[in-house]
Amino acid sequence: MEGEIFASPIEPLFNHEHALETHILQDWLINLAKKNFRHINQAHSKQGLFKQVNAVETIMYAAEKLKIAQEAKYLAIELFDRFLYNHLQDLRDHVLKLPKKRQMKEWSSLQEGVSNQVLLRIVSCCQIASKLTSHYKAFLFQVVSVNRAKRFLCTCGYRYASESLLQSELRVLKTLKFQVTEPTPIVFIETLLEILGCNNTKAEVKTFYYVALKLLDLLYLKYHTFYKILFEVISSSKIHSKEQKREFSKVKADQLLLATAVISCSVYMVQEDKADEMIKELNRITRISKNDIEDFASVLIQLVEEE
C-alpha cells in the first residue's frame, strides 16, 4: 500500500490532519441538503418497490464478488430500483399501444424476459456504479470491466457476449435518462460524521462509521419491513389513506433523515449514554427535528434487536 501515494483511502479518514476545512464541509452539506430536497420533491409512492430482499441480497453478493466500493454497492441498489420501475413503465406503455387481443400475450412474454435478465441488469448497475465511484482508487476497489462482469455471470451459470453486456449497460443508462449521479445515504453519513469529528475530535467517529455500514446494510435488506413499521409509528394507525401514503413517500426519500437516524443508532449501540447528546448535535447541524430522528432510530434499533 505504501507505493499507492496517489490512491484514495479505502475508508474515510475522519479527524485527519488534512481533512477539509469547516467552511468547505458546511458548503458540501448545504449542497447535499439541496439535492436531498429535490429528491424528496420528486418522490412517488412506488419508490423503493424493487428493493426486495432477494434483489438486495443479490446486489450485495455481486458487489462483494466484483470488489466494488461501499458507495458503489448502495448506488447499484438505488440504480436497480429506479431502472426496473422505469423499465416496466416503458414496457407497459408499449403494450398499451398494441391491439387489445395482443396485449396479455405480449405482456406475459415481456415479463418473462425481464425476469430472465434480472442478474444481467444487476451487474450492469454495478458496472455503472463502479465507474461513478472510481475515485476509490485503492487496490481493493476497481471499475467493473466487461470481462470481469462476464466472468462473474459465468460463475452464476450465465453466458453473455461482450456486446450483450455493453447493450445492457446502455439500456440502463437510457432508461434512467443518464441521471445516475444522485448521492447515496453513505455520502450523507460520511459527511455528517466528518462534521461531527471536526466539532468533537474525541468522538469515536470511525467506530460509529463501521457500525453505521452494518446498520445501512440491514436497513436495505429489511427495507419494506422497516418502512412499514415506521409508517405505523408515524401515522399511529394501520389504516392508511392515499394522501398519507403520498406524504410518507417523502419520508422514504429523505436520505438526510436516514443518515441522521443511522448515525444516532450506531452511537446508541457503541456508547448508549452518548445517544441523546448525538441526536441533539445532529438536530443542530441538520435542523431535522429530534422527534423525527428518534422515531426513525427507534425502529432501526427494533430491527437490530429482532435479528
Please say if the pLDDT value at position 238 is more than 70.
no
* Average pLDDT value for residue range 203-213: 92
pLDDT for position 11: 53
> End-to-end alpha-carbon separation of the chain, Å?
37
Q: What pLDDT digit, counting tens, does each position of 133-147 carry?
A: 876 444 456 789 999
Nearest by Cα to 192 from 253, 132, 281, 109: 281
pLDDT for position 295: 94
Domain ranges in the chain are 45-175, 185-306
Report helix, strand or coil for 127: helix
Residue in the block written with cell 405480449:
106
Residue 13 corresponds to which amino acid?
L
* Average pLDDT value for residue range 173-199: 93
Q: Which residues contact 193 (CB under 8 A, 6 or more apart)?
A: 12, 14, 205, 208, 209, 212, 263
Q: 124: which 3 cell numbers?
A: 450492469
pLDDT for position 7: 37
Please say if the pLDDT value at position 176 is more than 70.
yes
Q: Are 257 and 37 in contact (CB under 8 A)?
A: no
Residue in the block written with cell 470511525:
206
Please say if the pLDDT value at position 254 is more than 90.
yes
Q: Are 144 and 128 in contact (CB under 8 A)?
A: no
Nearest by Cα to 59 from 111, 123, 109: 123
Q: Give CA separation, 124 vs 57, 88, 148, 151, 166, in Å.
A: 16, 17, 12, 13, 8
Q: Which of the residue ranges 76-80, 132-136, 144-148, 288-292 would you say has the lowest mean pLDDT?
A: 132-136
Beta strands in 177-276, from DSSP E residues, in sequence order: none
Q: 275: which 3 cell numbers?
A: 445517544
pLDDT for position 3: 37
Residue 134's Cβ-count burial label (10 Å; 0-12, 13-18, 19+) is middle
Please say if the pLDDT value at position 9 is more than 50.
no
Report helix, strand or coil for 28: helix
pLDDT for position 140: 54
Name the band, by pLDDT with cuts 50, 70 and 90, for residue 6: very low
Q: 9: which 3 cell numbers?
A: 483511502
Name the band, by pLDDT with cuts 50, 70 and 90, for residue 2: very low
Q: Which of the residue ranges 1-10, 131-140, 184-193, 264-273 would you say has the lowest mean pLDDT?
A: 1-10
CATH of 45-175, one of 3.40.50, 1.10.3470, 1.10.472, 3.10.20: 1.10.472
Q: What is the mean pLDDT of the chain?
A: 89
